[in-house]
């Protein structure tokens, strides 16, 4: 371990769309908040970058940006640097450093950033490292800059906090590396559940959490379960820490959590609506939906947009349908309060319009049919983003070559993962068969049909053939590979 954090096994590379500039821009428009101009030159910082997948994606999608990322694990930094070099990404740099070292570094050495993001970090590091991270944000986030903070929260993780010390202590008695220890400790907890432990009778949701954890990757389990400083926070604690850093709370990077109508039980909504204090209101929301994880957004200074400016910002938001999105009809959203029906009368025309090509919200508002109130259109757009049916479109399409180079590197791993879509400013999931097919296309853009399929391992051919027929053209249009 390094300062109580896992260091002997790498954290699996996981992509988080909520940290990407295009996503943040869209959510901030929905919230009526100003956003950094991510179409111009900007500086981006990730704290706790792991192997760097998210920062690499930002660099590939935004050649005009300067991306700077930090992690305490030297092996992860070596992997991130190797990926950046293989992809030819000269606008991304990766540095091995603790947060205490960052906080002590001279301000002129690192400069200031338009965005500072951290995922899977704040609830898993020591108090000293967390305070140092906040001190760095206080110093390095520019006025008008946005911060993204992911962490575990009460009350959703309150019961889990009772079991984590048992998992960590039991893991210490087991042989093997941290991944093997985590799996063994989790299996012990599973045997306690099967034996009728009262903890699971009193907290039935923990049995579901346990079953989900047993399906996870062992390396991810080690980093999730075994850090010595594992800790959920009350949202008020985090809001106070960011306030001390000069940042105001904006909302969640998870769109439904900004819409009480789809994230709170109906009878609780009037109670929450009557709370003027933001800390009290967010605490009540967490209680109402038993929140377990938060993706908070904060800003250094700034003010909410005036109504006219908010309408203009919304109107300029461009959306594109993602591959596989329905072309009409209603939707069903799996929300914190259960399934919510998205009426066909509302979502059907929006999906049909997006199926014809990217549209701005201003264009969607002018579609044939009954007019939509701007607030209704705003909420519908945010739900389309969250559902995976649509994604923001980059305002200025970047040259695709950096994304192709990064995708070539990612695809050559031969494993399921993510590939960068520069037209959207994000990455999309890809299966092992899709990754293998994309690797061939990036090496030889002319390869297609039976030749492409025959060049793959037999176990991958059927799925790759379906991808070629159904998605290859869409992926090329999104800049993921040559057309």
Query: At residue 463, does pLDDT exceed 80?
Result: yes
Q: What digits encode the pLDDT tens for the residues 143-186?
A: 999 999 999 999 999 999 999 999 999 999 999 999 999 999 99
Q: Please, are residues 242 and 141 in contact by the beta-carbon 8 Å criterion?
A: no
Can you give the pLDDT at residue 122?
98
Work out the average pLDDT over 306-316.
97
Work out the average pLDDT over 10-18.
93
Q: Please, are residues 112 and 82 in contact by the beta-carbon 8 Å criterion?
A: no
Can you give the pLDDT at residue 437?
97
Query: At residue 1, does pLDDT exceed 60?
Result: no
Query: At residue 5, does pLDDT exceed 90?
Result: no
Can you give the pLDDT at residue 52?
96
Can you give the pLDDT at residue 129?
96
Q: Given pLDDT bands bounded at 50, 70 and 90, which one contains residue 2?
A: low
Q: What digits encode the pLDDT tens for the residues 20-75?
A: 999 999 999 999 999 999 999 999 999 999 999 999 999 999 999 999 999 999 99
What's the whole-model pTM score? 0.96
Q: Given pLDDT bands bounded at 50, 70 and 90, which one contains residue 337?
A: confident
Query: At residue 396, does pLDDT exceed 80?
Result: no
Q: What digits encode the pLDDT tens for the residues 240-255?
A: 999 999 999 999 999 9
Can you give the pLDDT at residue 395?
75
Query: At residue 280, does pLDDT exceed 70?
Result: yes
Q: Please, are residues 264 and 162 in contact by the beta-carbon 8 Å criterion?
A: no
Preceding peptide of 14 cis, ω within 30°: no
Q: Given pLDDT bands bounded at 50, 70 and 90, which one contains residue 339?
A: confident
Strand locations in 351-416, DSSP E? 359-360, 390-392
For residues 267 and 296, give the distance between their C-alpha atoms in angstroms, rounded to a whole number. Answer: 25
Q: Please, are residues 436 and 456 in contact by the beta-carbon 8 Å criterion?
A: yes
Q: Structure tokens of 406?
A: 């990064």
């Amino acid at each position: 371990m390094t300062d109580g954090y896992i260091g002997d096994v790498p954290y699996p590379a996981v992509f988080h769309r909520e940290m990407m500039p295009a996503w943040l821009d869209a959510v901030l428009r929905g919230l009526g908040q100003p956003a950094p101009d991510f179409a111009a030159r900007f500086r981006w910082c990730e704290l706790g970058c792991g192997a760097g997948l998210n920062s690499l994606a930002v660099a590939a999608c935004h050649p005009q940006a300067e991306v700077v990322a930090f992690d305490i694990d030297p092996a992860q930094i070596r992997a991130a640097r190797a990926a950046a070099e293989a992809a030819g990404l000269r606008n991304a740099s990766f540095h091995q450093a603790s947060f205490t070292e960052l906080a002590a570094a001279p301000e002129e050495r690192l400069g200031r950033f338009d965005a500072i993001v951290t995922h899977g970090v704040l609830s898993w590091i020591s108090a000293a490292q967390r305070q140092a991270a906040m001190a760095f944000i206080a110093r390095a986030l520019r006025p008008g800059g946005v911060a993204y903070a992911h962490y575990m929260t009460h009350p959703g993780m309150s019961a889990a906090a009772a079991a984590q010390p048992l998992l960590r202590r039991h893991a210490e008695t087991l042989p093997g590396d941290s991944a093997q220890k985590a799996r063994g400790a989790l299996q012990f907890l599973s045997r306690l559940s099967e034996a009728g432990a009262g903890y699971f009778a009193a907290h039935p949701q923990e049995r579901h959490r346990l079953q989900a954890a047993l399906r996870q990757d062992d390396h991810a389990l080690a980093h999730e379960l075994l850090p010595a400083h594992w800790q959920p926070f009350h949202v008020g604690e985090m809001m106070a820490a960011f306030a001390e850093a000069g940042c105001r709370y904006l909302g969640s990077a998870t769109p439904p959590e900004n819409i009480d109508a789809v994230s709170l039980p109906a009878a609780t909504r009037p109670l929450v609506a009557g709370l003027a204090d933001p800390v009290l209101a967010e605490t009540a929301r967490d209680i109402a939906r038993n929140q377990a994880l938060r993706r908070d957004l904060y800003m250094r200074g700034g003010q909410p947009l005036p109504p006219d400016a908010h309408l203009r910002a919304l109107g300029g938001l461009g959306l594109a349908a993602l591959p596989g999105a329905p072309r009409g009809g209603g939707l069903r959203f799996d929300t914190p309060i259960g399934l919510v029906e998205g009426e066909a009368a509302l979502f059907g025309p929006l999906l049909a319009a997006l199926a014809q090509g990217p549209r701005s919200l201003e264009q969607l508002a002018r579609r044939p049919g009954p007019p939509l109130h701007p607030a209704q259109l705003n909420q519908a757009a945010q739900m389309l983003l969250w559902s995976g049916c649509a994604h923001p479109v980059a305002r200025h399409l970047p040259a695709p070559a950096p994304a192709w180079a990064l995708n070539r590197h990612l695809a050559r791993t031969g494993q399921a993962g993510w590939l960068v879509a520069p037209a959207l400013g994000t990455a999309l999931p890809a299966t092992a068969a899709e990754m293998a097919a994309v690797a061939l296309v990036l090496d030889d853009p002319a390869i297609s049909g039976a030749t492409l399929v025959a060049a793959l391992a037999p176990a991958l051919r059927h799925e790759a053939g379906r991808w070629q027929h159904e998605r290859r053209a869409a992926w090329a249009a999104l800049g993921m590979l040559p057309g």
